[in-house]
Structure 1
Amino acid sequence: MTDHNIALKILFFSQTLIGVMGNSFLLGLYIITFFAGPRLRTIDMILTHLAFVNNLVLLSKGIPQTMAAFELNNFLDDIGCKSVFYLHRVSRGLSLCTTSLLSGFQALTISSGNSRWAEIKTRVQKYTVPFCLFCWVLHLGTNGSILVYMKGPKGYENITKIQDFGFCSTLFNPSFTTSISAFIISLPDATCLILMIWASGSMVLVLHRHRQRVQYIHNSRLFSRPSLEARATQSILMLVSIFVYFYSFNSVLTVYVQFAKTNHLLLNVSAFLAACFPACSPFVLIFNDSQVSKYCLTIWEKIKFPSLY
């Protein structure tokens, strides 16, 4: 067993385990708070959905990749490969869609001093759940082609134009139809990515203007303790930056690997990058969002002093 294989096993296993634990903690915290704690904000509902789909991304990619690193390449049949890849692509698209919704909603929140933006924010709050359901339907539909082309590791044994993922394989035949299919699949992702970048730019601009307006205040205490909205906005900007960084690198690698000869090293790097945001995002919120600490404290007080509630 080479050092390379040992490192892969440790890397994928650690990334999956830590990421699932972090997302499960946030998911459990929000669920408990919903039933027993203070009223959840709309943004907390979005974060609950994000933690759920990020767990799906990690489980659908991390577990098969970890097992492949342990050289268990035949543990999935055709149906298993179709299910795992379909779930991963759907959950990855939902993660992008939810992060886009999160950044857009926060941009509206810090701009809601304007009556027009406040009205739009109210409408977004009303349609948050239907929008998430729409994202599910959209990605379940647009990724349906995976159920046709994905096979088990031996599914395309006698065909040369295949892409081998170690534990699954798919037929890759560049054509006009394939290009149209790829365009349809990537269109919702591109739209969400553009919306996310626009919302992030808007948040940066609003925060910059706010900082300029308060520069005449010389009380250092005001600058050492940013507002809750500013801290929440900074956390979401950090989340978006991490997402765009890893998503961009992963997309470039994915396109390269599809058109070049199968390279297992690049496939492993691409798989690692695809799971970086789902693994990192819960800890960004845990350590930077003061509302998470508030929910933890409220639940702890209810457990320790139940008679007060």
Structure 2
Amino acid sequence: MKSEDILLSVAFFFQTGMGFLGNSFLICLFTFVFLSGSKMRSIDIIVVQLTLVNCLMLLLKGIPHTMTTLGLMNFLDEIDCKIISYFYKVTRDLSLSMTCLLSGFQAITISPTNSNWAKLKAKAPKHLIPSSLFCWTFHLLSCSYIPNGMKGPVYTSNITETQHNGYCSHKILSGYEAYLFTTIIFFSDAIFLGLMVSASGYMVFLLYSHHKQIHITCLSSRTSPEIRATKTILLLVGTFFSSNLFNCILTMYISFRKSAPWLMYTSAFLGACFPAISPFVLIISDSQVTRYCYAIWGGKITHFDPDDIVISSAQDDLL
């Protein structure tokens, strides 16, 4: 086995293992708090779904690529390839839409009471479950085209028109199919990314304005909660945007022509960066997660304010 293959397998294994542990920790934490009968935040509905799809996404992509870099080629049949490819695309799109929904809900929550979003504050929590169900239904249906282009790992008919990634192969698109595939991927991703960046930019603007007001009235040597929250939002959105943008570009490039293995491994690694990093960003920066942990370790679960937002409860000062 080549040294670069060993490094790749270690990288995929570490990324998948750490991401799985982080997401699993959050899922178990929220499940325990829910079963204890405690009052949870409305935003936790989105966070739990985001951690769940990120966990599945890591397993569906990380394990096959780890096995491939270890030299275990062609360990799936055609049905397995279709199933794994379909559910990976569903979880990847759900991760995008749930992050977008999370950003939008936060933007509405921290908006001033005299803004145009004020009327939505009371209604937003009621629409979280219907919005989540819509996202799941939409992506389960919209990704139904994925299995059609996937073939088994030993697919050899017209091999110059197929791309093999070590455990599955897919048809290289051309002509009308290529334009249709590009339109489907780019259009849906562009809408969700645009909404997510717009909502996050709006939050950054609100937090920056509030921070200026604080310094006008009272100077403090301590870093304000709003600055920490702004950095967390920028880190989450920046990580998601950058990793998924380059991954989307590489995915479209690989779909249209035969590519070197390192491009496919790079695309897979970039696509798994956000689901692997995001749970640790939330664990470190979300003050409510810290409260949940302290309550569990202390053997006492208290009733929390369900209207606290995910990044920092100190942002309630903005309301």
TM-score (normalised: structure 2):
0.89
For residue 245 of structure 2, give the secondary structure of its aligned residue in structure 1: helix
**Letter aligned with residue 151 of structure 2:** K
* 8 Å Cα contact 2:29/2:292 also seen in 1: yes
Find the counterpart in structure 2 of residue 257 from structure 1. Answer: 254
Deviations 1:196-229, CA, capped at 9 Å, x for gaps: 0101110111112112222222342xx52534x6
Q: Of 224, 245, 262, which residue of structure 2 is paired with 1:226?
A: 224
Quote the Cα distance in structure 2 between the aligned partners of 1:269 and 1:185: 19
Describe how 1:80-229 pairs up with structure 2 within 5 A. 80-114=80-114, 116-220=116-220, 224=222, 226-227=224-225
1:44-55 counterparts in 2 under 5 A? 44-55=44-55
Q: Which residue is equivalent to 1:297?
A: 294
Structure 2 residues not aligned, in runs of 5+:
302-319
Which one is further off, 36-45 or 76-85? 36-45
Q: Alpha-carbon deviation of 1:114?
A: 2.5
Deviation readout 1:36-78 (Å, 9 max, x if unpaired): 1631111222111110000011011001111111111111100
Q: Give a deviation string over 1:212-258, Cα, whole Å, max 9, x none.
A: 222222342xx52534x664454233211110011112122222333
Residue in 1 that maps onto 2:281: 284
State which of 245, 248, 262 in structure 1 corresponds to 2:245.
248
CA contact (8 A) 1:111 1:118 kept: yes
Deviation of residue 32 (structure 1)?
A: 0.9
CA distance in 2: counterparts of 1:83 and 1:199, whole angstroms: 34
What secondary structure is seen at the aligned counterpart in 2 of 1:277?
A: helix
| Structure 2 partner of 1:79 | 79
CA distance in 2, matches of 1:90, 1:26: 21
1:26 corresponds in structure 2 to 26
Indicate the larger mover: 30-39 or 200-209: 30-39
Aligned partners of 2:270, 2:106: CA distance in 1, in Å? 26
Partner of 2:12: 12
Matched, 1:35 2:32: no
Distance 1:149 1:158, change over 3 A: same
**Structure 1, unpaired ranges of 5+:** 305-309
Identical aligned residues as a percent: 46
Secondary structure of 1:160's match?
helix
Equivalent residue of 2:276, what SS?
helix
CA contact (8 A) 1:151 1:168 kept: yes
Deviation at 1:261, TM superposition (A): 2.8
Q: If each structure's helix is expressed as a fraction of its own residues, which one has the higher value?
A: 1
CA distance in 2, matches of 1:272, 1:77: 23
Secondary structure of 1:38's aligned partner: coil
Looking at structure 2, the residues matched to 35 and 233 of structure 1 have their Cα atoms a distance apart, in angstroms, of 32
Instruction: Choose 288-297 or 114-123, whichever is displaced more.
Output: 114-123
The amino acid across from 2:163 in the alignment is Q
Question: How far 1:167 sits from its partner (Å)?
Answer: 0.7
**C-alpha contact (below 8 Å) 2:172/2:258 kept by paired residues:** no
Cα distance in 2 for residues equivalent to 1:194 and 1:124: 20
Name which of 220, 236, 239 aligns with 2:233: 236
Closer, same or farther in 2 for the Cα pair 1:41/1:189, shift >3 Å? same
Superposed displacement of residue 122, structure 1 = 2.5
TM superposition shift of 1:115: 5.7
Query: Post-superposition shift, 1:121?
Result: 2.7
Answer whether contact 1:246 1:273 (CA < 8 A) is retained. Answer: yes
Which stretch shifts more, 165-174 or 111-120?
A: 111-120
CA distance in 1, matches of 2:149, 2:118: 46
- Counterpart amino acid of residue 276 in structure 1: C
Query: TM-score, normalised to structure 1's length?
Result: 0.91
Provide the rounded CA distance (Å) in 2 between the counterparts of 1:162 and 1:123: 49
- Inter-partner Cα distance in structure 2 for 1:108 and 1:39: 21
